[in-house]
Structure 1
Amino acid sequence: METTPEQLTLEGVPAPRARRRPRAAGEVAAELPVARVCIDLPPAHLDRPFEYAVPAALSEDAQPGTRVKVRFGGQDVDGYLLERADEAEHEGVLVPLRRVVSPERVLHPATARLARAVADRWAGTLADVLRLAIPPRHARVEAEAAPGEPTRVAPPSPSATAWADYRGGPAFVQHVTGGGAPRAVWTALPGEPGTRWPDAIAQAVAAALLGGRGALVVVPDARDVDRVLAALEEAGVPRWAPGLLGGAVRLTADDGPSPRYRAFLAASRGHADVVVGTRAAAFAPVHDLGLVVCWDDGDSLHAEPRAPYPHVREVLALRSEIEGAALLVGGYGRTVEAQALVAAGWAHDVSADRARVRARAPRVQALTSTELAREGAAAAARLPTPAWRTIRDRLADGPVLVQVPRAGYLPAVACGRCRAAARCSACHGPLALHTAQGVPTCGWCGRMATDWRCDECGGAALRSVRVGSERTAEELGRAFPGVPVVVSGARSATGVVASVKDRPALVVSTPGAEPVAPAGYTAAVLLDAAVATAGSSLGVLTDAVRRWLAAAALVRSADDGGTVLLVGDAEQRASQALVRWDPVWLAVRELDERAALGLPPAFRMASVTGTREAVAAVVRRVTVPGLDVLGPVPVEGAERDAFEPDVRTLLRVPRSSGAALAAAVAASAAVRSARREGGVARIQLDPGELL
């Protein structure tokens, strides 16, 4: 008689679980009847996939990556279908999917892995990251019909001329062409058209395309997007249009929901193989990704202001590891975080030697109080005589750039008698003047102080404390009559000016809004240097040097007469880094100091800010080896109650324990969410500001 074989089990070891098909009301799909869904709800304790049954009628459209509607907590909520499975882990009856919002697959497996890694890295939730990664649906754009058989874009011509002056530059491009995944931190130099930073990025992108892979470029703002797209066209990579297979798309939120979603779908469907965009483009679904580029990683626009507050540089670093793509982090300056990648051996340094730097950079001079001592009382002038003379002499050959660190007219004023800071009588915010004859206005509540009187001495006269770009342009217009004055800035009447012509003009700009002169500026004057380095943030010095170098890079080389003047008593190391054109030296020193002081990026930190009880509850549940708890301390300017100000606690661990810290903080936040604890607690990993 035949007997059925019996699977033996060891004592104490659970028997293998029998495969179960889901139980659900109604007919379920014959194949892969279980859908695992990420629901779009913010509570941290819901940060896990939930199982639903796939109705047979929805089986064809309910594919991984599609948007779905599900029933959760007595209401219909949005979600993303992560995967289909044969069996369910849930013991009970599964609720069926309500409907498939669209059969368009917008969440690709690589994007899902990246989003999960970003959520874990910054102690966030997958739903929060997906809101950053995937733009809102635009049904009309999805329904747009293709114009017919697509035309394949011709491959670009190989070139690495813009990389010739950099040590390791040609090798990086060659490695990318060959299908490799090198990682580099690049310190860019100024140069002639064809050798500037957009041209170098375009040639690296072309190298990835020649190797049969796609590329992603993330820059701070829309002006930089336009410059990269123009350089790509010069390199043989055209703009994508419907009916083309290949080319580059522009992906920015400023373009509006329809163009943004159209560009996203072009990359998602594999029609475009290059994406150039701003912060959210870091998650763009480029097929067979071979190169990711982050330009000017120190710019604050790369830091996401919404939870879980990821930074583009770190997101692209994670993506390069997950998808095996090359990574290029570049800028005129060098951030301490980028230098940490080089110091750890994770990325290679790509920079020019001193001879190349001297050949391509302008002549830089710092006009400090020591250099101006011979001027006597005139040394205290905001525009000293040497700077005035340089502007006058160089205007004959072309435009001159004047960089001012503050926008507006008089962004800070004080009492003209006792020099006490002028404050609003309603909220005690700082007062500012927007025009010469204007009424002082509060920078916090916006009220006009029509009858302002000083609280200290009763005086009614005001004097300037900080001078903005508008007042500077007014003063320069009087000093140089007949010379056109162009003001560029987000708050100016003309907005941010993209470019100026190669003719005599005074261009007054705030940092980051400098227009481009095709042949370069003849000179640049960087005013109020002491203001730029007077902040208390960790990156104040490297950020000041980065802003100065970005302006100085628009000036002609020293051989062509280009001159840059730094006016003011800035911090000594920052001044030296600019004069020597050596941002790497400053970044190395800053990294060593932070390692000695236990500060990021040598250490990892978590900031917990909010009401005292809520912060204490979150911190109490975090247990990580080597944890150092700093605080709580009151947070200035964040009072919710006059008797109970907000507090901040910092959690610090060695970098090797960074992942454990993120996991512990996320677990504590999940407990807080599940228990519905009161108060407010804002959690941020690796905060940009610690003071």
Structure 2
Amino acid sequence: MTSPDEPEQGALLGLDDVPAAPRRGRAPGRKPGREPAAVDPVARVVLDLAPAHLDREFDYLVPAALADDAVPGVRVRTRFGPQDVAGFVVARAATSEHEGRLQPLRRVVSPDPVLTPAVLDLARRVAARYAGTVADVLRLAVPPRHARVEAEVLADLAERAAAPDEAAAVADEAAADDVVADDADDAAQDGPAASATVGAPVVPPPSPPGGEGWPDVWAPYRTGEAFCRHLLGGQAPRAVWSPLPGLQAPAGQEGTARVPHWAAAIAEAVRATLAGGRRALVVAPDARDVERVCAALAAAGVADVRRLQADDGPAPRYRAFLHARHGLASVVVGTRAAMFAPVPDLGLVVLWGDGEETLDEPHAPYPAAREVLAMRSEAEGAGFLLGSPGRTVQAQAMLARGWAAEIAATRDVVRSRAPRVRALTSVELAAEGPGAAARLPTAAWRTARAALERGPVLVQVPRTGYLPVVACAACRTAARCTHCHGPLGLRGARGTPQCTWCGRLAGAWRCEECGHDRVRAVRVGSERTAEELGRAFAGVPVRVSASSAPGGILASVPADPALVVATPGAEPVAEDGYAAALLLDAATATAGIDLAMATRALHRWIAAAGLVRPGPDGQVLLVGDAAPAPTGALVRFDPAGLAERELDERRELDLPPAVRIAAVTGDADAVRAVVDRVELATPETVLGPVELPVDDRLEARVRVVVRVPPAAGAELAAQLRASLAVRSARREGGTVRVQVDPQEML
């Protein structure tokens, strides 16, 4: 009989197998120290394996020495064929359906059960929706282990278990300081065992100065107060929210630093949830919005908050993850990485900034934070709040099918809180004379000059950099790199044209059409705009807030008169609000073939307009001939109306979200093989194949789109998963990428 210490593949659940034949020269029996656990000796393990046909649970033997540590949720190492593979124990059982001999677990990496049943269930749901594997989702959900941080957190839990009364009374100040730990050797450092999660109870926040804050913040909305009352009562309301523009001082704290109104409203919804005895999770598109939410929570009296962001580094991220897992935080606020945070007793999930590209996961299976949090709300019985300056068509579809209710203010309240908006189109500027053709028309220049007497002026430009796109000065042909055919741009007034894809300099560039060697601007970036404004407004300070700017993205600016040039999403908050905002290059913002171009442009415009003073004290000028629909929606401050119109048009044209789609991209033969095994891929539902451009940045050759009714979306994902499993089992050649509901097609 085969010795139990020899490599052998674990058993696939539900797969009949023939018992291993005895081998000559080996005595039966077990090696000392490898006796199975007395209770539930079978561990069901999800392994970190890439092939789709291995996306299932495997049975392994639990040695008696690991019986206490190999509990569901812990990390383990085990053999899979010739490999040493990582995985998670997801269950313990008394028996196995496998008829052969089970391979034993090699070791328990950590006794801390970091994979909770709720997150495992969510990972399975996400994998099923997006035709992915559970292993892929778990790589997104559970961050890599950091041994030193884990030892610190488990030691803290042990202290709390030893003195629970004292631990509950002492604030966890040290844990709140996300100090980056030194790198440690994970194999050499294992934290102390934690047989159970100790955690801490939800800490109800104290009432802010001046009494309850949420009635004041949510009172302008028709159903806002009712939403908070449901949270306070332990219910699970679901809402799509259109926030009012403007800044707001914390309740009862007039004269202190003001935060965006949306952040104050989120803080009060969270406070109502905590007062009801449950925890909350808030997901925002970037670190700046995370900081604003945390500032609003602090002003609302909520102190037990943890930030969970991938950009913070391995140690702070893992520390925040463990604090959430063990109930050491009442609120978790983070970016996209936080949508899987294991928050116990979850009462509310909040998604701010729906429509921002940073909320779409770029790694397989490419889930969107909106859908992940919606699934989580349903599975865990938590409230759901989706807020955004604009409104996506997908959010409007949630309202249309009755899955969520709308929270919005009446039109008269919106008009009183919004700044005055004016669209400077070519028709509007027809009487301005030669100044109407300038990038900054005379009317915009006069408005900015007058507003500078009252405070800062925001100037939003669509692109960062100096001249991100250039063309031939003679024939206007787009200038492209001779190596990779990427667009050329300029980084400075005296710079050399440079490829924005591969970075190669094009000092000897000549136009392929006419042979001319000079270039002209096609798109103007934030740095060139600041340079032009500095000349147009002599003596006025000009600040730039962009990822490419020397000072980076600014969080805030003082109330002193200044021109603040910012790209979308990088607008800093002015202390008393901006006196005016100029939204330049409006035509560029709505140019393109993206289905979401109109709603995305309106989202960016309203986000900037929301930082301007309300009423006649603030003005917003949209400069350029943008598409009529988003232009009108901005003038009316009506993102819901635009989203409803877009949804109606998509229903007529059978476009998402009126249908579910899947894009299969890759080599032609590989794509054909995957699609041919999908029963729902009929001539009526298949679009393509369409050839894609081939360059150094894109290896794919063709794309096939499968379009089905929403009711068949789950079956389409299941059939795609099965086809990918066959592909990996057969080791078919070529490259294939499958995306269900790809963001560029939504």
Report the TM-score, using the length of structure 2 for normalisation. Answer: 0.87
Give the match for residue 370 of structure 1: 427
Give the match for residue 114 of structure 1: 122
Residue 271, structure 1, aligned to residue 328, structure 2: yes
Give 1:420 shift: 1.5
Q: 1:155 aligns with which of 174, 199, 205?
A: 205
Please give the per-residue CA displacement for 1:635-661, whole angstroms capped at 9, x wherever unaligned.
1345899xx970000001000111001
Equivalences for 1:575-594 in 2 at 5 Å? 575-594=631-650
SS in 2 for 1:151: helix
1:185–1:329 Cα contact (<8 Å) kept: yes
Residue 615, structure 1, aligned to residue 632, structure 2: no
Equivalences for 1:119-138 in 2 at 5 Å? 119-138=127-146
Tell me how far apart the structure 1 counterparts of residues 30 and 578 of structure 2 sit (CA, whole Å): 71
Give the match for residue 178 of structure 2: none
Tell me how far apart the structure 2 counterparts of residues 572 and 24 of structure 1 sit (CA, whole Å): 78
AA of the residue aligned to 2:596 = G
Q: 2:83 aligns with which of 64, 75, 84?
A: 75
Residue 318, structure 1, aligned to residue 318, structure 2: no
Tell me how far apart the structure 2 counterparts of residues 36 and 607 of structure 1 sit (CA, whole Å): 33
AA of the residue aligned to 2:277 = G
Tell me how far apart the structure 1 counterparts of residues 422 and 118 of structure 2 sit (CA, whole Å): 49
Give 1:431 shift: 1.1
Give the match for residue 3 of structure 1: none
Give 1:680 shift: 0.7
Residue 182, structure 1, aligned to residue 250, structure 2: no
Tell me how far apart the structure 2 counterparts of residues 67 and 156 of structure 1 sit (CA, whole Å): 39
Please give the per-residue CA displacement for 1:451-479, whole angstroms capped at 9, x wherever unaligned.
22222222222211111110000000011
2:48–2:87 Cα contact (<8 Å) kept: yes
SS in 2 for 1:524: strand
Give the match for residue 546 of structure 1: 603
2:219–2:225 Cα contact (<8 Å) kept: yes
Tell me how far apart the structure 1 counterparts of residues 410 and 558 of structure 2 sit (CA, whole Å): 32
AA of the residue aligned to 1:358 = R
Q: 2:306 aligns with which of 245, 249, 263?
A: 249
SS in 1 for 2:745: coil
User: How many equivalent pairs are there?
Assistant: 660
Please give the per-residue CA displacement for 1:114-150, whole angstroms capped at 9, x wherever unaligned.
0110010100000000000011100001111326642
AA of the residue aligned to 1:155 = P
Residue 688, structure 1, aligned to residue 743, structure 2: yes
Tell me how far apart the structure 2 counterparts of residues 477 and 87 of structure 1 sit (CA, whole Å): 76
Residue 99, structure 1, aligned to residue 107, structure 2: yes
Please give the per-residue CA displacement for 1:173-225, whole angstroms capped at 9, x wherever unaligned.
00011010010000011133247011100111111111110100000001111
1:499–1:517 Cα contact (<8 Å) kept: yes
SS in 1 for 2:390: coil
1:24–1:96 Cα contact (<8 Å) kept: no
1:24–1:93 Cα contact (<8 Å) kept: no
Tell me how far apart the structure 2 counterparts of residues 387 and 62 of structure 1 sit (CA, whole Å): 68
Q: 1:60 aligns with which of 63, 68, 75?
A: 68
SS in 2 for 1:150: helix
Change in Cα spacing, 1:311 to 1:197, as seen in structure 2 (3 Å) is same
- Structure 1 residue runs of 5 or longer lacking an equivalent are 1-16, 239-246
Please give the per-residue CA displacement for 1:210-263, whole angstroms capped at 9, x wherever unaligned.
11101000000011111111111111111xxxxxxxx11000011111111111
Give 1:427 shift: 2.6
Equivalences for 1:199-214 in 2 at 5 Å? 199-214=264-279
Give the match for residue 404 of structure 2: 347
Change in Cα spacing, 1:414 to 1:370, as seen in structure 2 (3 Å) is same
SS in 2 for 1:600: coil
Q: 2:561 aligns with which of 504, 522, 528?
A: 504
1:115–1:126 Cα contact (<8 Å) kept: yes
Give the match for residue 562 of structure 1: 618
Equivalences for 1:39-50 in 2 at 5 Å? 39-50=47-58
- Structure 2 residue runs of 5 or longer lacking an equivalent are 1-15, 20-28, 161-165, 170-202, 250-259
2:204–2:277 Cα contact (<8 Å) kept: no
Equivalences for 1:408-487 in 2 at 5 Å? 408-487=465-544
AA of the residue aligned to 2:709 = P
Tell me how far apart the structure 2 counterparts of residues 640 and 551 of structure 1 sit (CA, whole Å): 33
1:640–1:646 Cα contact (<8 Å) kept: no
AA of the residue aligned to 1:193 = Q
Change in Cα spacing, 1:45 to 1:581, as seen in structure 2 (3 Å) is same
Give the match for residue 673 of structure 1: 728
Give 1:155 shift: 2.8
Tell me how far apart the structure 2 counterparts of residues 494 and 451 of structure 1 sit (CA, whole Å): 32
Q: Which moved more, 1:455-464 or 1:491-500?
A: 455-464
2:149–2:318 Cα contact (<8 Å) kept: yes
AA of the residue aligned to 2:246 = G
AA of the residue aligned to 1:83 = A
1:625–1:657 Cα contact (<8 Å) kept: no
SS in 2 for 1:689: helix
Tell me how far apart the structure 1 counterparts of residues 450 and 495 of structure 2 sit (CA, whole Å): 35
SS in 1 for 2:453: helix
SS in 1 for 2:661: strand
Tell me how far apart the structure 2 counterparts of residues 375 and 672 of structure 1 sit (CA, whole Å): 64
Tell me how far apart the structure 1 counterparts of residues 681 and 703 of structure 2 sit (CA, whole Å): 21
Q: Which moved more, 1:217-226 or 1:144-153?
A: 144-153
CA RMSD of aligned residues (A): 1.7
